[in-house]
A and B are shown apart, each in its own frame.
Chain A
């Protein structure tokens, strides 16, 4: 039972709401307007130009591909790590938490720089590959998509593990015990009890990682160089070097649209009936 609710309390949201309207929502709307307003009136020329150009498609495909690969690998690796985090106790749990939270708190610029060292032909990754006999010769990793995805997985993995962990640790173990009593095997239990119950965490993690990796800028800049463009690097180029506001705003709106789709989809999925199974 809640106490008194003075009407004036609602007004406390006003400063933050007004601030975000002015400094966040309005600029995005202006950006949207810039991309369709030409001296002669409204027009979608910018989008037609961008999407009829093979280069535009290439850039879009680069971003989506890298994001899809990064998100898939993060999910496949991140889920077991979240399981380990729930099962771990004491020092092991602390070690796991530190290895996720510490890199999370170090900037992307520092980590991307580290990966330029790790991925060199005489770098640590190649030394491990040769040592374990996976490859006979050092392979080229820097300036390749594999290197890019490896760096991106490293930088975004924690954003997959932590949301899954926060849902997974609330799963009632007695549900699994009950399923086992009813003759359900470990794989069946995982697929029909644990996985559905942790779906909200998976959806949140996938949404986080995808939206961040589709818009990454510093990682491709340092690990791929100028010849590989993503939506983000193209936006930065158009504004900072080419001074092409119309191209820049068009690409920015395309990227914004992708982000909005991810947010809306993840919102819908999180609200699906499965969610009620958790509570």
Chain B
């Protein structure tokens, strides 16, 4: 190894080490603050206390918001899995012009500023007379979850050998049965990873929800933002820690099922 190469290697690992700390520090700090007895974010915590977690139970607006978030995330992910998979199959198997345009279009909500999409949707929904916040949220969240599914399922389909379906049919399977027995298991990891990222994207979304929520129907990130503006205290850290733990559990499950490296390829 030349000195220059050695210097490069040292630099790469130094940066990587620093980045690990830099990336995990915010999560660690939130969790540390949430179990601190001090109300003013003093670190390290002067004494341990679970009082902020106890306060969570008394927050009236929190639980309905959490419920709305989970419901909207589950429903929009389910809708996106169906629409996105159908779209991916059409693009991969279909024989029409403009297939790449369809893909670009289907993925484009990810590249557009969320706030602009939210404002546009708010205005359009008000123009057609839809004022129900729950329905509006659902419509908006399908727009932002659909790209994750379309992109991932399409990538997975392009690696799938469709002659396997023909082979299964030669062996006596009907077309739908061949799809179910051969294609679905191969695509299962794609469904799982894209569904996971769609779910998390919906749970965490604030730029679209910001405009589509109303006084009665709020999502969790909007409610947290509200608490932060009103009275920032470690209760928010307790909520956040809950979300971090939930994310860790979901990722551990995903790691078990498809592996971390595969998640990085989304």
Q: Does B22 lie within 8 Å of A81, measured CB to CB?
A: no
Q: Mark A76-106, 1 if CB is under 8 A from B, else 0.
A: 0100110111011000011111111111011
Q: Does B228 lie within 8 Å of A222, measured CB to CB?
A: yes
Q: Please name the residue on chain A nearest to B224 by beta carbon.
A: A109
Q: Does A9 lie within 8 Å of B93, measured CB to CB?
A: yes
Chain B proximity of A265: nearest CB distance (Å): 12
Number of residues of chain B lying within 8 A (CB) of chain A:
92
Complex CA–CA separation, A2 to B162 (angstroms): 7
Q: What B residues does A109 contact at CB under 8 A? A: 204, 206, 221, 224-225, 228
Binding site for B on A (CB under 8 A): 1-5, 7, 9-17, 19-20, 23-28, 30-31, 34, 77, 80-81, 83-85, 87-88, 93-103, 105-111, 113-118, 120, 122-124, 154, 157-158, 162, 165-166, 185-187, 190, 207-208, 211, 214-215, 217-218, 221-222, 232, 235-236, 239-240, 245, 248-249, 252, 255-256, 259, 262-263
Q: Is the interface of A mostly helix, strand, loop or mixed?
A: helix
Q: Please name the residue on chain A nearest to B103 by beta carbon.
A: A13
- Cβ of B90 within 8 Å of any chain A Cβ, yes or no, is yes
Q: Please name the residue on chain A nearest to B114 by beta carbon.
A: A215
- Cβ of B35 within 8 Å of any chain A Cβ, yes or no, is no
Binding site for A on B (CB under 8 A): 2, 4-5, 8, 11-13, 15-16, 19-20, 22-27, 29-30, 33, 41-43, 82-84, 86-87, 89-91, 93-96, 102, 105-106, 108-109, 111-117, 119-125, 127, 139-140, 142-143, 146, 150, 162-163, 165-166, 197, 200, 203-204, 206-207, 210-211, 221, 224-225, 228, 232, 236-237, 240, 243-244, 247-248, 250-251, 260-261, 263-265
Given A5-B94, A95-B20, A262-B111: A249 and B30 interface contact (C-beta under 8 Å): no
